[in-house]
Amino acid sequence: MSVSLLLLCLSVFGASAFVLGRVRAAALSGGRSSSMHSRLGYHGAYAAIWAVLPALALVCVWLIVSPIMIDRVVTKSFPEEVRSLPQAELNLSYGMVRSIARGMRMLESQELADVDGGKADLQLLLAQKGVPLAVRPTGYMIDAANKYNGMREASRMVMSAAAIALSLLCAARGLRAIAPRFRARNRVEQVILGALIVASSIAVLTTVGIVVSMLSEAARFFSMVPASEFFFGTVWDPRFAGAGTQTSGTFGLIPLLAGTIYIGLVAMLFAVPIGLFAAIYMAEYASARVRFIAKPMLEVLAGIPTIVYGFFALVTVGPFLRDISVEIDGLMTGDYKGFIEAQSVLTAGFVMGVMLIPYVSSLSDDIIMAVPRSLRDGSLGLGATRSETVKRVLLPAALPGIVGALLMTASRAIGETMIVVLAAGVAARMQLDPFEPMTTVTVKIVNQLTGDLEFTSPQTLVAFALGITLFFLTLCLNVYALYIVRRYREQYE
């Protein structure tokens, strides 16, 4: 039985348990619902929870543990010469076995018989089914794939039988517990509370998992490269020399950090004035009709994929700025060389600033609109103009929230990758000319992890050191933004 069909069965059992729970509670109440501690729906929900939740927990645990056990058994069936290979090659062989097993599940019985009889080429058949193989399958791979499929099917059958049996037993237990004074509502609400706690913990646990995994790999990198060389180095030159390389390369963070901050600063110089002015206009000056049309159109920019912004910078903005600089240079010096390169800090900063405009505008607009109406009316009633009200009342009142929004927008700019790759280049250098290319931390993370590489050399492990540094930088910005908002927000409530 497939997992989807099993989940459907559990859903049917849960719905049936709910109905039976209501019926049993109604029968025990004798037609007087006031004699029951909880309403009939709570008794039905209690029975449904017992019918579904334990079985669902069993399925989740089984789906996690079973593949691990199957992998170990199948790997042990490999020949001794294969099991003695390095871990990377052994993983590659096992990946081939899993691909063969997946493809063999797509074959018809006659096709499988032809393969067993040597009348058909398994590699060709699997390619026709959309499972291409890099090399021709060997005998032990086919045997291991058959064993993998057999164990997988047996595991699914046992899991389905165990889950259905557990669901029926637990449903009977839940129905038997229903009684007039049974506190079904309290039990159901406890389960709901537990579900809410688990849901709220997922984000926290995910963040902890990401940080722990990055820290563990970054620690391996710092065991090969001194932390002082990484954090205070001014030259970035990893010098890839192949997998397993433990020497060579210079891993200075300063050029990458300088490029990240520089490009982010240029982007904020474009985004903040335009976004803030747009927010002020829509909050205080625009009519309801204009606001209804302009605000959604402005926020459409936030939904455009960053790769589209990157292509826009590469194809339109970069060449446009380069051509403009050529014309200006020709008029001023007569030498039509130009002083702005197509890939430059200015190009990336401008396009990234366009991308950030809806973030600044939308957040600032919401913050300005949240200022109490009494402050506006009091200022206007004392004779102040609308512009004076905006400058001397609304903006000071909304300033903490606006500053927090700008800091959060800056953290968004620091983490951008695709625009920088296409608009600013990959040159890791320190310079102040906005017309020259630079690069950022995120771009180098992508570069270091591109390709089929092993995570055994500092050239690849440095990506985790860069990642944890970027994570810490954006975390500091977000925490400081939240501090500002919470520290000063109560003054204007």
Which has more pLDDT, 241 or 405? 405
Under the banding of pLDDT at 50, 70 and 90, the label for residue 267 is very high
pTM: 0.69
Q: pLDDT (tens digit, 9 = 90+) per residue, 8-21? A: 888 888 899 888 88
**pLDDT reported for residue 423:** 85
Which of 151, 181, 210, 138 is closest to 34 using CA atoms?
Answer: 181
Distances (CA, A) of 414 to 111, 260, 264, 372, 409: 54, 6, 6, 33, 9
Write down the pLDDT at residue 165.
92
Q: What value does the mean pLDDT take over residues 263-281?
A: 91
**Sequence-ordered alpha helix ranges (H) in 281-344:** 288-299, 306-312, 318-333
How does pLDDT run across 155-181, given as a tens digit for each residue?
Answer: 888 988 999 999 999 988 888 888 888
* Angle formed by the axes of helices 441-448 and 458-488, nearest 10°: 150
Tell me the C-alpha distance between 309 and 351, whole Å: 7
CA distance 191 to 165: 22
Q: How far apart are CA 69 and CA 456, in angstroms?
A: 27
